[in-house]
Homo-oligomer: A and B are copies of this chain.
Amino acid sequence: MKIINTQDKNFKEEFDGILARAKSDIKGVSSIVTGIIDEIVEEGNTALKRHISKFDKWEVKDDNELLISTVDMENAYNNIDEKLRQALHTTYDRIKKYHEKQLPKSWLDFESNGTILGQKVSAVDRAGLYIPGGKAAYPSSLLMNAIPAIVAGVEEIVVCTPTPDNEINELLLAACHLCGIKKAYKVGGASAVAAMAYGTETIPKVDVITGPGNIFVATAKKLVFGEVNIDMIAGPSEIGILADSSAKPKYLAIDLLSQAEHDEMASSILITTDENIAKQTSDEVENYLKTLERETIARTSIDNRGAIIVASCMDEAIELMNEIAPEHLEVMTVNAFELLPYIKHAGAIFLGENTPEPIGDYVAGPNHTLPTGSTAKFYSPLNVENFMKKSSIINFSKNAINELGEACALLADTEGLTAHAKSVRVRLEDK
């Protein structure tokens, strides 16, 4: 694995290359995706079925076939291995418990002149979850997207997932049953996003669309933003690891590979203050690579988008990591917690050697849908608030408007808005 040193002459250039690689170019597919969305808006189910025939290679004879049967979900749940079912339940419970802690409350505040100000927080009416299917079916993504919506109190949850050759992953079906999903549809890609954003004869129009997906899904989400809300625009997965001399190279190596195996575009970056750790980790990566089922993918990712950076001190290491703003950040240092104040940007922060990133993909509790490509500088992990919205509450008393009305009218006058001023003054005139 490539090792570079912050003291290298061309370090800045190398590092800029690492930062640039994280950007995904959605512009390239925008016109194709715009076309797909337009077809769904204009033709509804007819276009949906054409796209399924083209991309998923099966023919929908009746519109009802688009809906996944809840009986199939229940059967899948009953038929999976008992240990797996227990693992699903453990994961479900832990995710639910964590997200319940995020739940914001409506509030009111009272002033002595009778003014009441506040904020009402409520769930959106309908949420649409996009869940990848086919080869890269991740049932855990269903849990991670559905549970925050359930905790938020969303009344109607819609799921779309592609079903190549009309086949569905059994564990995904079981997870749907566990989450009580009633409206899951066999639709994938940009078509699914468009269908949920605009509605078709079969698929309800939703208010928010969340969930991972390829570049076509990400682009479609960006294009329908405004018609609905979305969680974020996500790209390939990333891990960043901060390590000092106390870190174990074999842990570092397998954790780097756990991202690399996702996708050839995934990136895995270790920044360490210890040159020996850098070398040993590189060796361990090579050892582990040979043992992986997905060796080819992981090797391509490590070769093209992996790097070990040797920094001169932990301050420098953290500064570089803040620029990367990785989706997943592992901190393997003697006192990981004490670095938290300095870590500015990361989707999820994994502290200490017993917290490998995959723990956060499944059982830990926090969401695994996280901002990528440096967008952790401004996006948050998927959370219950993605499925909620706020309304301000304002109640002025007669005393309050008498006290503050003239200041308000004066500002309205100055902005040239005379009806604004008048609507206040007409109240002031009434005794």
Complex-state Cα separation, A356 to B409, whole angstroms: 11
A412 B355 Cβ-Cβ under 8 A: no
CA distance A295 to B185 in the complex (A): 52
- Complex interface: chain B residues within 8 A of A233 (CB): 225-226
With the chains together, A265 CA to B402 CA distance in Å? 32
Contact partner, A378, options B124, B294, B366, B420, Cβ 8 Å: B124
10 A-B residue pairs with CB within 8 Å: A87-B411, A91-B411, A140-B411, A226-B375, A251-B423, A254-B419, A257-B422, A361-B420, A362-B411, A378-B389
The 7 A-B residue pairs whose C-beta atoms are closest, nearest first, are: A366-B392, A87-B407, A380-B390, A358-B420, A348-B392, A229-B378, A226-B233
CB within 8 A of A407: which of B86, B356, B360, B423? B86
**Interface size class, chain A:** 35 or more
- The verdict on A32 contacting chain B, using a C-beta distance below 8 Å, is no
Given contacts A87-B411, A378-B207, A422-B254, contact A366 B351 (CB under 8 A): no
Query: How many copies of this chain?
Result: 2
Name the CB-closest residue of B to A409: B358
Over the window 184-218 of chain A, the binary record of Cβ atoms lying under 8 Å from chain B Cβ atoms (1 yes, 0 no) is 00000000000000000000000110000000000
Residues of B within 8 A of A294 (CB): 416-419
A298→B226 contact, CB < 8 A: no
Residues of chain B with a CB closer than 8 A to A396's CB: 352, 354-355, 359, 364
Given contacts A120-B340, A360-B394, are A90 and B261 in contact (CB under 8 A)?
Answer: no
Chain A contacts with B in 381-431, Cβ cutoff 8 A:
381, 383, 385, 389-398, 400-401, 404-405, 407-412, 414-424, 426-427
- Contact B380–A260 (Cβ < 8 Å): no
With A258-B423, A361-B420, A407-B363 known as contacts, the answer to whether A226 contacts B392 (CB < 8 A) is: no
- A398: which B residues are within 8 A, CB to CB? 354
Q: Which of B262, B383, B410, B423 is the one whose CB lies under 8 Å from A83?
A: B410
What's the least CB distance linking A209 to chain B, in Å? 10
Whether the pair A171, B414 counts as a contact (CB closer than 8 A) is: yes
Residues of B within 8 A of A393 (CB): 340, 348-349, 351, 366
Does the CB pair A292–B418 fall under 8 Å?
yes
Give residues in A with beta carbon < 8 Å to B: 26, 83-84, 86-88, 90-91, 94, 98, 101-102, 104, 107, 109, 115-117, 119-120, 122, 124-125, 137-140, 171, 207-208, 222, 225-226, 228-229, 233, 250-251, 254-255, 257-258, 260-262, 288, 291-294, 298, 336-337, 340, 343-367, 370-371, 375-381, 383, 385, 389-398, 400-401, 404-405, 407-412, 414-424, 426-427
Taking chain A's interface residues, is the majority helix, strand, or loop, or is none over half, making it mixed?
Answer: mixed
Q: Given that A344-B125, A358-B412 are contacting pairs, would A367 and B389 also be in contact in the complex, using a CB cutoff of 8 Å? A: no
